[in-house]
Amino acid sequence: MPADHLSTTFSALSDPTRRAILASLSKGEKTVSELAEPFGMSMPAITKHLKVLERANLIERSRDKQYRPCRLHPQPLKDIDEWISQYRKFWEASFDQLDDYLKQLQSKDSHDE
């Protein structure tokens, strides 16, 4: 995934309201009104958040007469997980090296006593 898509996704996830919207959608499809309800914000404000999520391809919105459902589109989250996993491997290897070093120090200390 190109870095600009990652940047767009991370930017969309930087807001706690948008993360809460995604958490809500992870439980199933919701209307815009249902998504707005817990936040006590105006429809234009919630719509702005939804547009950001939609641009980042994190949600899909459709329209069926007056019913406007939103659903989670998880692929960008999987892409972030794959990107982060590179660094997870780095940190795990670093912690393993640190653990080995600390064991060597403990072994030296026990032999010096």
Q: pLDDT for 76-111, tens place per residue?
A: 999 999 999 888 888 888 888 888 888 888 887 777
- Band of residue 30 on the pLDDT scale cut at 50, 70, 90: very high
All residues at 6 or more sequence positions from 59 whose CB lies less than 8 Å from its CB, including other chains:
21, 22, 25, 50, 53, 70, 71, 72, 73
Helix (H/G/I), strand (E/B), else coil: 74: coil
The pLDDT value recorded for residue 113 is 65
The pLDDT value recorded for residue 25 is 97
Q: Which domains does the chain have, with CATH numbers?
A: 3-112 (1.10.10.10)
The arithmetic mean of pLDDT across residues 45-58, rounded, is: 96
pTM across the whole model: 0.75
Phi, psi of 55, deg, nearest 5: -60, -35
